[in-house]
Amino acid sequence: MTLLRFNTVDVFAEHQFGGNPLAVVHGADTLTTEQMQSIAAEFNLSETTFVLRPADPANTARIRIFTPRAELPFAGHPNVGTAYVLASEAERRKRPILDDTMKFEELSGVVAVNVLRNGAGIVGAQVAAPQQLSVGSGLAPGIVSALCGLPTASIEQSRHLPVIASAGNPFVFTQLRDRAALSAATPNQAAFEQHLPRELAAGLFLYVREPTSDPPIQARMFAPLHGIPEDPATGSGNVALIGLLAHLNSKPDLVLKARIGQGVDMGRPSLLQAMAAKRNGVVTATQVGGRCVPVMSGTLTLR
């Protein structure tokens, strides 16, 4: 019999039961990949993380990230939530994290995460994407229309066609014409199976830009082939989105920041703070962060 501690936390949340829930399983060194996948399916959240000893003692931990159906090389909300949980535990033990900076070993590389504080203590975290922005092939608007059940007229094509981009985890990014179209989108699993296999992209990321609204960007992300019909908040998607928007901007040098809302249409409102730096026409760095709220803690028993 094996006993494992776990915590759950709402990530990119302003209050409990908002944002994107995450399960963090501690002391997972003895678990097999199959056991981790089964535990993630049991939690049935967008992602579950497993904390292991790092290969390099200079790093904080090794982290493995699983959806209910597959392991991911990188994801934003699992890094933010795991950092929040580990930093909060370290604080309670009177062993605060040095310089509020953590380094996680992941399949995508070493990921740097900074703890966010206010006067009350640790409130969240901010993660830097482990890879530089890459912009790949496009996808025909008609295919995107099939994926999300919208007419092609709902797809905004003036700034960019649907395109695969990644800062550690690839998504198909599609701008829609208005908020009504975003609300009406519905994932079509059969279309995903036909047109968007998991090895091509993690999911479909839809967004609208409304400069007079707060937040000025609203997004939704569908990944049914990962067991995630819709994700309340997608850090790896939003960190690539801010990089893509900086890439598309005509200025060769800039620092672009944005507040991005997600999860509203599924009753899990989330707020993400994203940033991209661009120098000499190249996006050199991207970050995403937000607040976290603890929800549960307990013990998982493996027999």
CA 113 to chain centre: 13
What end-to-end distance do the CA atoms of the chain give, in Å? 5
What is the Cα–Cα distance from 134 to 117, expressed in whole angstroms?
31
Of 153, 202, 145, nearest to 177 by C-alpha is: 153
**So what's the pLDDT on residue 1?**
84
**So what's the pLDDT on residue 6?**
98
Task: Tell me the mean pLDDT per 10 residues along the chain, length 303.
Answer: 95 95 97 98 97 97 96 95 97 89 95 91 95 94 98 96 96 97 98 96 97 94 96 96 98 98 96 98 97 97 91
> Rg of the Cα trace of the chain?
19
**So what's the pLDDT on residue 98?**
85
CB 19 within 8 A of CB 293: yes
CATH superfamily for 2-128+291-302 is: Diaminopimelate Epimerase; Chain A, domain 1 (3.10.310.10)
Token pair 């590389």 is at which residue? Answer: 109
- Rounded to 5°, the CA angle 85-275-260 comes to 75
CB 165 within 8 A of CB 240: yes
Token pair 């993690």 is at which residue? Answer: 202
Query: Identical fold at 2-128+291-302 and 134-289?
Result: yes
CATH 3.40.640.10 fits 134-289, yes or no: no
Domain locations along the chain = 2-128+291-302, 134-289
Evaluated on CA atoms 76, 164, 229, 185, the torsion sign reads positive
- Rounded to 5°, the CA angle 104-61-26 comes to 120
Residue 160, burial from CB neighbour count under 10 angstroms (0-12, 13-18, 19+): middle
What is the Cα–Cα distance from 276 to 265, expressed in whole angstroms?
26
**So what's the pLDDT on residue 96?**
85
**So what's the pLDDT on residue 119?**
80
**So what's the pLDDT on residue 260?**
98
In 10 A of CB 106, how many CB atoms?
21
What is the Cα–Cα distance from 204 to 163, expressed in whole angstroms?
10
Torsion, Cα of 149, 141, 235, 256 (10° steps): -130
Tell me which residues are annotated as active site: 47
Residue 59, burial from CB neighbour count under 10 angstroms (0-12, 13-18, 19+): middle
- For 219, phi then psi, to 5°, come to -140, 160
**So what's the pLDDT on residue 255?**
98
* Pairing label, strands 270-279, 217-223: unpaired
